[in-house]
Amino acid sequence: MPSFPPRMSRRRFLQLGAGSLATAGIIATAPQITVLADDLNDFLKGPPVEDIPPIQLSENVWMIHSEEVFPTPQNKGMMCNITFVVTDEGVVILDSGGSLQIGEMAIRMIRTVTDRPVVAIFVSHYHGDHWLGNHAFVNEYGPDLPIYAHPHTKAEIEGVQGDLWRSLMERWTEGATIGTRVVAPNREIQHGDEFRFGDALLRMHHYGVAHTPSDISMEVVNDDLTYVGDVAMERRIANMDDGSFQGSIDYIDALLAEAGSEIWVPGHGRATDDLMQWNRELFAGIYENCLASVEEMESIAEARARVLADPRVAEKAAETRGFEDNIGRYVSLAYLEAEMAAF
């Protein structure tokens, strides 16, 4: 472990980061020390994440549920559900969580359900709260553990998104996730691919741009259950910076028709009977009104008034987490998408 300068706390050390410390003269510029600074995550590690007992969703599927919406120092980045399938061949992970520490907690919790090893991970999309936990699983089960993702998701994690999300999680949690390394998927999946693990059959679904360009939803056929990642969330609007409102509506329609599951599991929030329909109505209430405003050559402010007056949106406002803080941004994104569609 490094020694901290006088009057510098460990938290301050983590907040500064290796680059800032070098600039301040705290880390020397000798080549071997610079390499050590570059590999800061290899010898510093944030605190463990508190145990969250798994909830059984169906005969073979369990969820480690996160109540949180955004990563904070208090929740240590635990903001995304970790869903897992217990099969005759072993455990299959559907999104591994947002840090090494979260993944380690998930492994502890899985062992309260079964002593079978983890045999595969499936990644729904490239936002790091869903896959940075891969690090813990390869530590435990070896670097050859199959980690599956859509080719675009895999490429994004191998590229800019990987280090970006690792850094963002460290910043948002004030260093609680430090020690996490980027472990990218090592296998590719496409729409319609099927995987059998003993008695369990998993079927992959992808219907174009929704929350991101490469969302994969994972149907556990035997259990009549589909994990949808961030295509739909419980009483929350997904971040749509990388996505599409119309694409999300089309994706939900296609998934309902092709999977037709009884249980729909989101990446954030609880599984509910109305998960898909609730999200579809909200997306439609936002996007259709923005499209109407664009066609009538109305301003974004007028589009927002239309959106807020729509019953599909108005009745959901009070129960949608972060609604007041984010509805303006979502209207702006939907309006821009509508402009592109209209012209």
One domain, residues 171 and 303: no
Global pTM value:
0.87
Domain total in the chain: 3
pLDDT of residue 238: 79
pLDDT of residue 55: 98
Cα 186 to Cα 128, 140, 157, 197: the distances in Å are: 16, 16, 11, 18
Q: Is residue 167 situated within a structural domain? A: yes
pLDDT of residue 13: 40
One domain, residues 124 and 76: yes
Q: Is residue 5 situated within a structural domain? A: no
| Neighbouring residues of 304: CB distance < 8 A, sequence distance ≥ 6 | 327, 328, 331
One domain, residues 331 and 298: yes
Q: Is residue 219 situated within a structural domain? A: yes
Q: Is residue 332 situated within a structural domain? A: yes
One domain, residues 226 and 142: yes
Domain extent for 32:
10-43
One domain, residues 84 and 219: yes
Q: Is residue 50 situated within a structural domain? A: no
CATH number for 85: 3.60.15.30
From CA 192, how far away is CA 294, in angstroms rounded? 36
One domain, residues 189 and 321: no
pLDDT of residue 273: 85
DSSP for residue 213: T
Q: Is residue 142 situated within a structural domain? A: yes
One domain, residues 93 and 214: yes
One domain, residues 200 and 148: yes
Q: Is residue 246 situated within a structural domain? A: no
One domain, residues 294 and 175: no
DSSP string, 50-91: PP---EE-SSSEEEE----SS--TTTTT--S-EEEEE-SS-E
From CA 339, how far away is CA 341, in angstroms rounded? 5
Per-residue pLDDT of the chain (343 residues; tens, 9 = 90+): 333 333 334 444 444 444 443 333 333 444 444 344 445 555 689 999 999 999 999 999 999 999 888 899 999 999 999 999 999 999 999 999 999 999 999 999 999 999 999 999 999 999 999 999 999 999 999 999 999 999 999 999 999 999 999 999 999 999 999 999 999 999 999 999 999 999 999 999 999 999 999 999 999 999 999 999 999 999 988 789 999 999 999 999 999 999 989 999 999 999 988 999 999 999 999 999 999 999 999 999 999 999 999 999 999 999 998 899 899 999 999 999 999 998 7
From CA 137, how far away is CA 156, in angstroms rounded? 20
Q: Is residue 4 situated within a structural domain? A: no
One domain, residues 141 and 212: yes
pLDDT of residue 91: 98
